[in-house]
Amino acid sequence: MKKLSLILAVIMVFTLLSTAAYADWTPSQPITIMNHVAAGGAMDLYSRKWVELAAKYTDATFVVDNNDGASGLTAGEWVLGQAADGYTVFALAPTYIDAVIQSELDCAEYVDGFKYVYNLMADPYCVLVPIEPEAGNPTFDSFAELTDWAKDNKLTLSEPNYGAKYIDAVQVFDEVGVDFQAISYGGAKKNFAALLGGQAIASVGNPGDTAKYAVKALVVGAPERLAGLPDVPTYEELGYSEKLDGIWMWRGYAVKAGTPDEMIEWFQDLCDKISADPEWIEYMENQLIAVRTDRTEDFTQIVEDEVTSTIDVLKSVDQISADYTR
Amino acid sequence: MTALSTWLNSLHYGYIVGGIAVLMVGFYFLFNAIPRTKPVKAQLLCVVGMDLITLLFYILTFSLRVSKMAAQSGATPRTMPRLWAFLMVLASVGAYVAILKKDNRPDRGFDRWVFALMVGLGSIVSVLCFQWLGYYLSSAIFIVAVMIAMGEKNKLQLILTPVIWCVFTYFVFNKFLYITLPVGSLFKGMF
Amino acid sequence: MGEIFQNLAMGFGVVGNFQSVLWILIGVCVGILGGAIPGISPSMAVALLLPMTYAMSPTVALIMLMGIYIGANYGGSITAVAINTPGTPSATVTAFDGYPLLKKGRAGEAMGISLWASVFGGVISIFVLMFFSVPLSRAALKFWPSEYFALCIMGLTTVATLGGKNWQKALVTCLFGLLLNTMGLDPTFGIKRFTFGVTKLFDGFEMVPVLIGLFALGEVLSNLEHYDPKAAVKREDVDYKMPKFSYYWKLKWSIVRSGLVGCLIGIFPGAGGTIASFLAYDVEKRMSRHPEEFGHGAPAGVAAAEASNSGSVGGAMVPMLTLGIPGSSTAAVLLSALMIHNLTPGPQLFTNEPQLVYGLFASMFVANVLMGLVGHFGAKVWVRVGYIKKTILYPLIFAFAILGSFSIKKSMFDVCTCLAFGIIGWLFKKYDYPASPIVLGLVLGKLIEENFVQTMMVTGPIGFVTRPLTVILFLISIAAIAYPIISERRHKKKAAAAKDSPA
């Protein structure tokens, strides 16, 4: 009995000591931000900008790393394989969730294995066409022209890897009542090379793409028109369900479940500061992205919705087995 | 075929590797028994090994899912593996013929192959030890072991080589590139 | 035309100061070292140093990163020549002839050729980039999946030259490489194939560990098999001296041709320096008067591999600067460097930021010159690496291989891949199976499949025969296979006729 109480006492002292150590969490070694995309991808770009701005508010060292294998699965698996000590952060976007579901992996491990810490942004989806289509391809000035044309012709969409943008395309064109064929290209950049080269008629992308490539948006899925694209209507304005305006691409940070709460709080506070930074806001505005500040509860719900809709859509196109469940 | 494919797919990969190994041993004895194939058995076994994997992949293609998109496009995830498997059959027939021709050089004899294999296996053991001993200690031991096995007697070099290697990797990878190498469970508490 | 020179003069004005040159020099040095370490690819080297550039002006940031890119592309060849370990996939071809040259004791020659071919290949590609970037960027868009597919098939035809006498075995190993490359998520539909429940296999085999295993470990294991500790250490007759200029002059056409091939292929996003070097090597072997030397230490082989590989750098910049679509993964990182500084690439970049664009062009010249200088002095040191005492060299190559495979994705699985392919490489070497066709299969497999499926979706199978460029590329491939067979037959006939006529 004496022995037992001694052990208990020792355990209690240790727990107290360790919580005391965590109470005011400050990093003692570099924090790795593991991206699910290759260097140069969208999330990579934003996390690097984020790290640049983080230097204003903290002395902590952040290392941005990339692991783009298997649509981001290898990055997720790597983070799950690290210690839950707060020194590894996973930078992810819907593409990762799509990859998990496409490969019919266990969501309990690959989705619930993370704690979703902070969502940084809402990047709307929009339907894009080339400004000057290749000879032989039609020109469109409005979404109605595109849907009318698609009634008598085969509409082809170029999509990166049947990922999140493809999922949005299925939802949009189902609602609109137009059949389309998606052609998958590895990565956003190849996708636009294909679109500009006339291999496909249109593409679902993000508004920021209009600044990067010679493409224009016909319709944008956002609650109201974007300041940067004042002439582009929303789905609701065109008479479609407002549900389509509520689908957007999130990009944020997660950590392995079991990471100390103090670290998460510290990290969320840092995210808050950066999200309020004028330089970050201006940068996001330039990319036509809305800044978000969703913490764990909201972010987890966002991810959950993504999981549900992705499973539904992929089952509807027979991409995954009908027996697959969350 | 589909049933066989689904069954193979449900097997643990250990059984599949084991199965291929057993077949290879069988082929070894077969080639050893025939005078025509005896001098070139190892060359033949290389192709046989590749063919067995090809056959495995071909059978497995039957259980690959074909989505609506794939069905529409006329090219499915099954197309390319089957094409390569088909070409592989043609190519390996060519290779068998070439190997069995009279003017083909017989297998090279085994030199100190056990030594080479031991080094190869040693490196695998050293990698497996990373999780306990950590990268630094494990690779230092490996380097010294191989040097001694190769007959190095210079004590200074035996000590300096692993030390310099570990210092180099620590500073370049850990400190400069932030690539953390496994520390090993033995030492985890120390850092 | 005059305008370009005027702009270039302005560009040199931008980089023509001590600070800029210093940053380029730092970039080149870091790049060379990074490229030489197996497991640090050029794109990783650039990404690792990217955070350093946040505080710099966009121009300085970009020219330093460009220096890394150029340096890293060359750096890969150092270990390829010295220890048969390609530091980057595109340096694989350099090892084909560079390492045999070194084994023959002609190390200075091998190092010298790989360096100066890199420099001049790079310079050629800058000229192409400067004068033709706008028309070429349009060509890049005209390159549809069917063309990529045909280009890959053309790449596959090089297996015929890689195999030489053992062409049947080369064919088998190449197909085996192609088959292995179907493992993992399929590139178009994302269906998992042949993964046996191992999530690590979802991405197939990582390229660099396979390369290190097949070439470096295969070589070491095979040497260990014939190693005799009691044998007296022979003083090998080694020529460390770098050759004179007149020696390189003999290779001028090889370098020009390969530089252009590299640049052209580099333009097409996703094709990359590796295919370029395989194709350029093939071209040189076919044009050479002594094709039998290739693979056993042909100087033109080293020159072709390195010139085309460096040429692809300029090529990759063409679509990046004009369209915002990077031609290689490293160019993608450079692109993100631009965007972090709030600059948007595209045609307007040339008009809005001419200082940046032409400063970048000028810096590429400077970087190549500096690389020549750094490489020239550096080569004197690392040329000796290949001749370090074997008892030290072999264990270190093993350690390097393990470290290099680990650092790419920090995954132990990759290390095991490397060791497994090391044993395969050893067996292949022992039984006369050429290992390079496996690499060719692994490089081309995904590309072939992706572009095949895309063609089926975009145009249907008709696309393979109706698009003129595709047809031309197919015809070249057919000619590439048929020509040696026909010419051999003709030779035989002639020989037979010569035998018959005196009688």
**Cα separation, C346 vs A66, whole angstroms:** 26
- This model of the complex carries an ipTM of 0.92
For the residues C289-315, what does the mean pLDDT come to? 89
Domain with CATH 3.40.190.10 in chain A: 126-246
Domain chopping of chain C, boundaries: 2-227+245-498
pLDDT at A3: 56
Query: For A31-84, how does the pLDDT look when each residue is reduced to its tens digit (9 = 90+)?
Result: 999 999 888 788 888 999 999 899 989 988 898 888 887 888 889 999 998 888
Global confidence as pTM:
0.86
Domain A126-246 class, CATH top level: alpha beta
pLDDT at A185: 85
Low-confidence ranges of chain A (pLDDT < 70): 1-23
Identify from A318, A320, A321, A323 which residue to disrupt to test chain B contact, counting B C-beta atoms within 10 A and taking the largest count: A318
pLDDT at C138 over 90: no
- The verdict on a CB contact (< 8 Å) between A71 and C185 is yes
Strands of the A126-130 sheet, one edge to the other:
A203-205, A126-130, A215-220
For the residues C239-254, what does the mean pLDDT come to? 82
C contact residues 50-69, partner A, Cβ 8 Å cutoff: 50-51, 54
Neighbours of C118 (CB within 10 A): 32
CB-nearest partner of C50 from A48, A200, A213? A48
Put simply, whether C85 touches A (Cβ < 8 Å) is: no
Task: Chain A: list its partners (3+ Cβ pairs within 8 Å).
Answer: B, C
Residues of C in contact with B130 (CB under 8 A): 412
d(CA A48, nearest CA chain C) in Å = 8
**Cα separation, B101 vs B99, whole angstroms:** 6
**Residue B111 burial class via C-beta count within 10 angstroms: exposed 0-12, middle 13-18, buried 19 and up:** middle
Interface A–C counts its CB contacts (< 8 A) at 141
**Cα separation, A95 vs A161, whole angstroms:** 9
Which residues contact residue C33 at a Cβ distance below 8 angstroms, ignoring those fewer than 6 apart?
C75
Please report the beta strands in C68-161, taking only residues with DSSP state E, as ranges in sequence order: none
- The verdict on a CB contact (< 8 Å) between B127 and C416 is yes
CB-nearest partner of C190 from A64, A102, A214? A102
Residues of B in contact with A317 (CB under 8 A): 67-69
Locate the chain B residue with the closest alpha carbon to C169: B95
Alpha helices for A111-163 (secondary structure H): 143-152
Domain chopping of chain B, boundaries: 2-100, 113-190
Put simply, whether B191 touches A (Cβ < 8 Å) is: no
Identify from C69, C336, C352, C453 which residue to disrupt to test chain A contact, counting A C-beta atoms within 10 A and taking the largest count: C336
Residues of A in contact with C206 (CB under 8 A): 69
Query: For A288-306, how does the pLDDT look when each residue is reduced to its tens digit (9 = 90+)?
Result: 899 999 999 999 999 999 9
Query: For C144-194, how does the pLDDT look when each residue is reduced to its tens digit (9 = 90+)?
Result: 889 889 988 888 888 877 777 788 888 999 999 999 999 988 888 888 888
pLDDT at A22: 47
Q: Which of C34, C26, C36 is CA-nearest to residue C385? A: C36
pLDDT at C274 over 90: no
- Bridge partners (DSSP) of residue A219 are A127
Write the CATH number of the domain with boundaries A2-122+247-316. 3.40.190.150
Residues of B in contact with A319 (CB under 8 A): 65, 67-69
Integer CA distances (angstroms), C143 to A5, C161, C270, in order:
76, 26, 11
Residues of C in contact with A44 (CB under 8 A): 336
